[in-house]
Amino acid sequence: MKASPDKIATPPAPPLPESARTLPVPVGSPAAPRADAGAPPDTVAAGSASQVEDIVRRALPAVVSLRSGNVSGSGFFVTDDMLVTNEHVVSGHTEVLVRLYDGSQQIGRVVTRQAAVDLATVRVERSSGRHGVLTLGRLGDVRVGQEVLAIGSPLGIDNTVTRGIVSGLRTVTGITLLQTDAAINPGNSGGPLLDRRGLVIGITTMKLMRAEQLAFAVAVDYAIPLLEGRQSVLPTQSSLASLVPGVRSDDQPSELDVARVRADRMFSTSLTRCRKLTEEFAANFDRYTAACAGRRTDWLVPFGSPGGSGTIQTANESTPTCRILWSDVTAAAQDIKAMIRDIEERARQAGVLPGVMRDLLERYGLEEVAAAANR
């Protein structure tokens, strides 16, 4: 049976917290297919276990590549116009470039996001309906040892499929993760982890945990509140463990995990503001380069650092416009430097470990800016 594209088809929901109960997600009517077009790709719906080839054939048209700034990742359609992806893939952006299975590109608008579970939803405004739609499973049906498939765009290579098993179920800082030995690489982030029925049981991520030969996916249940326009109210570890009868989940958050969460809570507002200033700086710098530089310009120069080989070393202030643009660029750079140094000093005084702060800066896309600010 095919699932209607204007609802998220889900199996019966497990006893989730109030914030994660499954409700239909209201969406607009899908666009009618052209008369000369073939039938749309099959929706991947609940059913018995299928051959891997059949699951892949039906799922691939629902998986997309996303790009926001210099960050790329994956996502997948759960309705005709709504995608699920990782929050770190769209972090700091309100719009992203979406490349569909057929190679066409569209602009997607970030609708909801929750950094704590590294999930976000993106709406494609001009959906043609010529793509697949994946069906959400539930954590309560997941069993350690079951076979899974991961689909995404690792290292920019679209439509890549890897195969493995669920190696374990882990609770980290109150979030249930599916550990898998299916290969997950940069670019896979935000793609679906499917069971043998073609149901999404997790969203692959590279940000919540990073360890050699270990791959993780966020349990799909956390996506449901976001699709309803709400934030997940994260349950306690014990209530998460109760979602998976017969599987013991006794992993306590490590000191490093606790430190990361504490630092994020302390500095998320400042880092978000700094990220916004950085985007404004980049826009002003691009305008200056286009209008005044005349040749390749190193963005480190406004921060007081020497430019790289073949770049201008000083400002071109030959016209009033160029002088104004350069003044805006250098002022923004100095504001960013001051903010980064203030955040790092407050973190030092609060006892935040340098490695934790580096991870946090990387998560907000500020690692290069921080390095430039401290030169």
Give yes or no: 189 in active site.
yes
Q: Are 178 and 165 in contact, with CB atoms under 8 Å apart?
A: no
Q: What would the 3-class secondary structure string for 349-365 be?
A: HCCCCHHHHHHHHHHCC
| Average pLDDT of the residues in 322-340 | 85
Give yes or no: 93 in active site.
no
Within 10 Å of residue 375's Cβ, how many Cβ atoms? Answer: 10
Which residue of the set 68, 72, 127, 189 is catalytic? 189
| DSSP annotation of 290 | I
| Average pLDDT of the residues in 159-174 | 84
The percentage of the chain sitting over the pLDDT mark of 70, rounded to a whole number, equals 65
Q: Residue 205's pLDDT band (boundaries 50, 70, 90)?
A: confident
Distance (Å, whole) CA 206 – CA 88: 9
> How much is the pLDDT for 16?
41
Distance (Å, whole) CA 297 – CA 306: 11
Q: 77-91, 192-206, 223-237: which range is least confident on average?
A: 223-237
Q: Residue 146's pLDDT band (boundaries 50, 70, 90)?
A: very high
Torsion sign across C-alpha atoms 187, 177, 11, 182: positive
Q: Residue 317's pLDDT band (boundaries 50, 70, 90)?
A: low
Residue 206 phi, psi (nearest 5): -115, 10
Strand, coil or helix: what is 131?
coil
> How much is the pLDDT for 139?
92
> How much is the pLDDT for 22?
35
| Average pLDDT of the residues in 341-364 | 79
> How much is the pLDDT for 239?
34
| Average pLDDT of the residues in 273-290 | 81
Distances in Å between the alpha carbon of 93 and those of 74, 78, 89?
Answer: 15, 21, 9
**pTM > 0.75:** no
C-alpha of 235 from chain center = 21
Give yes or no: 88 in active site.
yes
Q: Are 219 and 139 in contact, with CB atoms under 8 Å apart?
A: yes
For β-strands 135-136 and 95-99, DSSP reports them as unpaired
More confident residue, 138 or 248: 138
Q: Which CATH number fits domain 18-241: 2.40.10.10, 2.40.10.120, 1.10.3720.10, 3.30.1310.10?
A: 2.40.10.120
Which residue of the set 72, 81, 88, 158 is catalytic? 88
> Structure tokens of 184?
């997950």
Q: Taking Cα atoms as reference points, which of 164, 115, 134 lies closest to residue 275? A: 115
End-to-end CA distance of the chain: 60
| Average pLDDT of the residues in 272-299 | 75
Torsion sign across C-alpha atoms 203, 149, 108, 223: negative
| Average pLDDT of the residues in 189-194 | 92
More confident residue, 238 or 334: 334
> How much is the pLDDT for 350?
77
Cβ contacts of 61 within 8 Å, gap of 6 or more: 41, 101, 102, 131, 132
The domain ranges of the chain are 18-241, 255-373
Q: 67-71, 193-197, 272-276: which range is least confident on average?
A: 67-71
Q: Residue 298's pLDDT band (boundaries 50, 70, 90)?
A: low
For the cut 80, the answer to whether the pLDDT of residue 42 exceeds it is no
> How much is the pLDDT for 33?
31
> How much is the pLDDT for 238?
34
| Average pLDDT of the residues in 178-206 | 87
Which residue of the set 118, 158, 195, 257 is catalytic? 118
* Mean pLDDT value across the chain: 73
> How much is the pLDDT for 35?
32
